[in-house]
Amino acid sequence: MGVKYLAVSSGKGGVGKSVVAVNLAVAMARLGERVLLVDADLGLGAAAVLLGVDPPHTIQDLLRGQCGVDEAAFAGPEGLCLLASAADGQTDYWLRTDVLPDTVEALAGFESGFDFVIVDTGAGIPAATVDFVSAAADLILVVTPEPTAIADAYAALKVFLGAAAGLQPRLLVNMADSAAEAAELHRRFAELARRFLGVEIDNLGFIPLDRNVREASKRQVPLVCGVPAPPAAVAITRMASGLVAAGGDGIGSGLFARALAQRQAAWVSST
């Protein structure tokens, strides 16, 4: 079957992308799946903060050869595993990194021990985001019912498809006032994607606007661990169950190997 990779991305910041990625990973782990959460928002990592943990090493340390995979991997809630990113603002790191082949091989072997790898990418279309979305091949595009968020999500999807023709996009509407609002947004977005980008975009449903999301983030506790489960947590758990039940074929090679190959190809084409 192989490992199933899901990139969670958005056209702009502030739409709840990282909250979705973190809670989706926790929800899948609660369902008994072996889950690796990769915070691929290099230089601006938020996953560790949202989980309330403080890993001693980051992805940047790992790729620089300053620690091994086992040292970088950190145990999170419900048994999930986290590869955290630094929050030092060095967003150009991905463009300058020189990763040892042994590190890439070790990462690929490590990833193979999981059922799902959830990749929280950076917002928008920086190089690292495009690389990780292309490597994952299965995209959850998070959007809110705001004109700027919708326009930016469409623009990002266009870039992602240009980098990965076989990309499988799914639209998730976050902070929706109602099911009707979310359904109409998806209908209009899917029509645009079909007409102008030539791609069918799956409807992954919606997460309702819920003040509990902000409170959980402030307390640094995953929303889906709340008792009783607030409405947004119920929606995320339902989404996780659907994705697990759908299964599907995974990808054999490692995420970082493919992302780095994408970056190398970009280097070559620009010279």
Residue 191 contacts by C-beta under 8 Å, 6 or more apart in sequence?
A: none
Global confidence as pTM: 0.95
CATH, residue 105? 3.40.50.300
Question: From CA 10, how far away is CA 141, in angstroms rounded?
Answer: 5
At 180, the amino acid letter reads A
**3-state SS assignment for residue 172:** strand
Residue pLDDT, tens place only, 6-47? 999 999 999 999 999 999 999 999 999 999 999 999 989 999
Q: Which pLDDT belongs to residue 2?
A: 81
- Whole-angstrom Cα Rg for the chain: 17
Q: Please name every residue paired with 3 in a beta bridge, in sequence order, or none if there are none.
A: 251
Residue pLDDT, tens place only, 145-194? 999 999 999 999 999 999 998 899 999 999 999 999 999 999 999 999 99
Owning domain of residue 166: 4-270
Q: Which pLDDT belongs to residue 194?
A: 97
Per-residue pLDDT band for 135 (boundaries 50, 70, 90) equals very high
**3-state SS assignment for residue 230:** coil
Per-residue pLDDT band for 270 (boundaries 50, 70, 90) equals low
Burial (0-12, 13-18, 19+ Cβ within 10 Å), 246: exposed
Q: Could you give the number of structural domains in the chain?
A: 1
User: Virtual CA dihedral for 51, 260, 155, 236, nearest 10 degrees?
Assistant: -30
Residue pLDDT, tens place only, 37-79? 999 999 899 999 999 999 999 999 999 899 999 999 999 999 9
Pairing of strands 4-10, 116-121: parallel
Q: Which pLDDT belongs to residue 247?
A: 77
Question: From CA 118, how far away is CA 22, in angstroms rounded?
Answer: 8
Angle between helices 147-163 and 179-192 (to 10 degrees): 40
Residue pLDDT, tens place only, 90-129? 877 787 777 888 999 999 999 999 999 999 999 999 999 9
* Cβ density class 162-180: b for 16+ within 10 Å, e for less: ebbeebbbbbbbbbbeeee
